[in-house]
Amino acid sequence: MNWWEETVFYEIYMPSFNDSNQDGIGDFRGITGKIDYLKELGIGGIWLTPYYPSPKVDNGYDISDYFSIDPIYGNWEDFNLFIKKAHDANIRVIVDLVVNHTSDEHTWFIESRSSHNNPKRDWYIWRKQPNNWESFFGGSAWTLDENTKAYYYHSFSEKQVDLNWTHSEVKQAIFEVIDFWIDKGIDGFRLDVINNLSTSCSFKDNPYDEEGKQIHLNDVNQPGILEAIKSIEEHVKKRNSSLFTVGEISSDRLDLIEQYAGPDLLDVTFNFNFGSLEKLDIDEMFLQLKQMKETYQENRYPTLFFGSHDMPRFWNRLASKDLRVYQLLAALLLTSRGVPFIYYGDELGTGDFVPHSLEEIKDIQAINRYHDEKNKNKTDQAALLEANKVNRDRSRASIQWWDKKQDHSWIGFAKKNPDEKQIFQWFKQLLALRKKYYRAIYDYQILNKENDLIYYQLGKVVVLLNFGKKTKLDNKWGNLDMLLSNGKVQVSNEQIIITDKTTWIGKVRV
């Protein structure tokens, strides 16, 4: 049994989690100060977003040095203390590894752009003339370098330059980065946009859909991508077979996402088909659960999440600020089959931060959208409205902890929930229940839906999630003992009556 199969992970967005020195930026000492809090909650694993030196064009996902810690987050003593305290609390740590691209301020790229003959020239992707590929942040994915009169490729910001994974030296350099952090005591890696690796030299133009929007057909999921990922996985597992790998696949298509996990590939991948639903849709949610059940069998697992640093808070997006719906979603997240990821603040019902001016926006994606809209002669207010639709700052703001008052933040403060203590206790109970009763080998004995009631059984645990009005359900289990509930439920040998927007979790009596 792998440790990660029975672990609930907690994503920490580094600059926003907990600020120990009141400079407005979260840091390692701040995280260390919350280890007891996370242990009380029941967390078994922490995922850290990038903490490496970076110009912060994309808030740290533009790395300028893979082998250091950005001083704004602390020093090596702070890092080592954090790792020790986490491990002492039986909490493992995985870290973000961005190997699709580096910052344009990385020494590798500085050398690469210095001349056509530099040994690192082909560590990145250069062309005399660009093709039609567009950046995922808007505009062309090619930028002219005036020094060498050639175009370099960047699938995101022009300050995030894509590495050339057809070059053997690039792969070896990344392996050295992996080894460095393994030696520092980390327990695994989250691989950022890993299916964007450039592993082909064909550079065919991308097609467009009927509305004129580019289809990213040839710039992602390229030929050779699975071989590249297998080589990364092989290297990691040779160092330590217990190390955990989770990949971000830039797609919400289950058939594509699942291809990247399995024997010799990543341990798991993020299931955006489920986690990134834009609004609460019970039918769609249940459909995705069924499809994941059918797809992930025989020691393969989906991931479960409703929040991350790339999407609005699910208090706003899915629950629409309804406490009972939020509790239902939390129960679904933490009682379904898969590997759950909680985003920092989810356990407090944290709400969105909404910037009210361009000056308050930190996200490069939203800034680019704002300027695109202004170029269409939109008003400032209209441009801001469009920018906030794609603004990832909504979920990246700083937490205002109930045990202290912070004066300022690098970005602004997330919306506090007046019921945060109640929500915390709900999450704590769910995590304790999962730890006591769940085993990763369990599959759904039952997974069904009647109207707006989703219900399922894993092992001896029965979960009833009624997102709709009061309803009745035939009792398929006989004698049941209640483990956790937040509403009125009547259980007899014949039927179960469950009130509206109610969670009920029980155990089959042996």
Active site residues: 192, 248
Question: Residues 6 or more apart from 71 whose CB is under 8 A from it?
Answer: none
Rounded to a whole number, what is the distance in angstroms from the first to the last CA of the chain? 25
Separation between Cα atoms, residue 312 and residue 314, nearest integer Å: 6
Q: Beta strands 461-466 and 495-498: pairing type?
A: unpaired
- Residue-wise DSSP of 402-457: TTS-----SS-BPBPPTTHHHHHHHHHHHHHHHHHH--TT--EEEEEEETTEEEEE
Angle at 333 between CA 331 and CA 334, to 5 degrees: 65
Token couple for 492:
């007899």
**Residue reference for tokens 């798991």:** 268
> Which of 306, 305, 309 shows the shortest CA–CA distance to 319?
306
CA dihedral 394, 396, 398, 400 (to 10 degrees): 60
> Which 3 state secondary structure label does DSSP give 495?
strand
3-state helix, strand, coil in the chain (%, to 5): 35, 20, 45
**Exposure of 209 by Cβ count < 10 A (0-12 exposed, 13-18 middle, 19+ buried)?**
exposed
Separation between Cα atoms, residue 370 and residue 137, nearest integer Å: 12
- 3-state SS record for 151-199: EEECCCCCCEEEEECCCHHHHHHHHHHHHHHHHCCCCEEEECCHHHCEC
- Cβ atoms within 10 Å, residue 67: 11
For 170, 249, 270, 396, 487, the CA distances from 303, given in Å and listed in that order, are: 30, 12, 6, 21, 28
Separation between Cα atoms, residue 145 and residue 285, nearest integer Å: 46
- 344 neighbors 9 (Cβ within 8 angstroms): no
Bin 312: left if φ > 0, else alpha if -120 < ψ < 50, else beta.
beta
Token couple for 435:
């730890």
Separation between Cα atoms, residue 199 and residue 231, nearest integer Å: 13
